[in-house]
Chain A
Amino acid sequence: MSPDDILRIDGLTKIFFGFRALDGLSLHVSRGEILGLVGPNGSGKTTCINVVSGLYAPEDGSIRFDGAEVAGLAQHKLVHRGINRTFQVPKPFMQLSARENVEVAIAYGGARQGEVDAAALLGSLNLDAVANRPAAELNSAQQKMLDLARALATKPKLLLVDELAAGLNPAELDWVAAKLKEFARSGMSIIVVEHLMGFIEQVTDRVVVMNAGKEIFGGTLGEAVQDKQVVEVFLGGGHAH
């Protein structure tokens, strides 16, 4: 493992009722890098995020994070080590206020006392106006930002972003893309799962194309669209962007 790699996945396999959602997946992410994970529906992108974040334990394979093996650790332990994520459909703590949502993560997420300020974090994601409202009253874009705030409150070294762009308008997209790049410049590594290729092109340094639980291509998005296998998979899967 190169010392620059924060995450290295080898031969990762996850089986649901006989279906190999991940079939020996291998990939790596460097420090401060934004990696795009693309592929047709059901290719295993979200499963990859779910396994790396500890929602499911893998059947086989290794996940080395920051120099240690972390495959199969519980979610909250991975959070403490520095892996966090957002959800495709965010489920904030509906009855708690936006501020309390973030405070839980500040208190339990493993950040040092005083390292994260709830008000500043909410402000940086344009949530200061709704800080004292219950999460249930936030609109869906705000709930996505709150989900991101919850993840950031734990000071992650690796952030897994699952379909953050879906449902945002173009201005919000540009703004989110700038945010992610800003995080990366400060040293955070990010994996972005996304259907919007424009967004992938805008934020990622490199992409891994997945199909049937495996990597079929690694390189820049520009190279990917030239690749015969990638084009075939995407046309076959009906995603010709």
Chain B
Amino acid sequence: MPRYAKHILFIVAPLVAAFAILPFAYNNQLLLFNFVLFLTLAQGVNVIYGFTGYLPFGYVGFFGAGAYGFSLLILHLHAPPLAAMGGAAVAALAIALLLTPLLRLSGAYFSIANLAAALALMQFISNPNLEAITRGPYGVSMTGVFNPRLAYTMALIVMAGAMLVAVWLRNSRFGLALQAVREDPVSAAQAGVDVPRARAYAWLISAVIAGLAGGVFAWYVTVFYPENVFSSDYSIFAVVFALFGGVSTILGPIVGVLILYGVYNFIGFSTPQYFQLIYGALIMALVLFLPQGLISLVKRRGIDVP
């Protein structure tokens, strides 16, 4: 059996099946939805950070763009939710195309510019002058399309798609080329890779994943404010989960989300500042003691991790 088939059969399929069955056994549906959402976002971060080395500190910009892309089609064109999901993808894609020049920047410059772009987008959308179009700071309400079961199913489909992208990158020439670009762009170009184009593709794919996640989030909650869908928590959580598990693998981001997000919800802090304290300390410990993620513990023993 080829490697990618094994990865689909033994990683993607069980994961999707588990989250398809869990709602029947476990009644905290919102928590399950959030798990699916973060699995998707962490894998999306993996595409751009794990495979190209660009740390998207404003990743939430695509998530928010997707949420608004979805909502505007519902609010103004009364589109059916399925078609509006297309709007989510297109909105994220458009923003990503607009921001493609940022890929010319390297290292921290890219991350900072990306963060600024996400914040600018939020300020723009929540500006009271645009109330007629975006509802400005007053938020979006689309109670007419409220259908959490269908939205959850869509979230599963989006997550499966994100996982398949990771499987593809892990097993394809293109994924290998991206990693080569990450390791050394000059040598990669000298191997014949069109470096700017390879980066741009990874960027756009990663953006569409976040955009679809944002769209499905908007559908699931139907009522939200700009600061909900542009909360930098999404960027940070997604990055930290992916990093905790270990990027540039399929399994790393999955393990990261299941363990870290699981632990957070298991402990359950009543006061947000204690949560923030422990969370912050954990991030620091992660960077200092396990910068390559949990997966690196296994890899160190010479075991190849999918």
Contact = CB atoms under 8 A, between A and B. Distances in A.
Q: Do A and B contact each other directly (Cβ–Cβ < 8 Å)? A: yes
A151 B179 contact: no
Residue from the set B186, B187, B191 with the largest chain A CB neighbour count within 10 Å: B191
Interface in A146-178: 147, 150-151, 153-154
Contacts of A93: 179-180, 183-184, 187-188
A58 interface: no
A91 B187 contact: yes
A81 to B, nearest CB: 10
Nearest to A85: B190
A111 B248 CA distance: 27
A196 interface: no
A2 to B, nearest CB: 28
B194 A95 contact: no
Contact of B191 (A53, A94, A153): A153
A37 B110 CA distance: 39
Nearest to B184: A91
B64 to A, nearest CB: 33
A153 B177 CA distance: 14
A85 B187 CA distance: 10
Interface string B186-212: 111111111100000000000000000
A220 B193 CA distance: 37
A100 B189 contact: no
A107 B173 contact: yes
B150 interface: no
A109 interface: yes
B186 A105 contact: no
B189 A104 contact: no
Nearest to A136: B183
A84 B173 CA distance: 20
Given A96-B176, A100-B176, A107-B176, A75 B190 contact: yes
Contact of A108 (B179, B186, B192, B248): B192
Contacts of B173: 103-104, 107-108
A76 interface: yes
A76 B193 contact: yes
Contacts of B186: 55, 75, 87, 91
A61 interface: no
A154 B192 CA distance: 8
A79 interface: yes
Nearest to B197: A76
A74 interface: yes
A92 B187 contact: yes
22 contacts: A55-B186, A74-B194, A75-B189, A76-B190, A76-B195, A79-B192, A80-B192, A84-B190, A85-B190, A92-B187, A93-B188, A95-B179, A96-B176, A96-B183, A104-B193, A108-B173, A108-B177, A109-B191, A110-B192, A150-B190, A150-B191, A154-B192
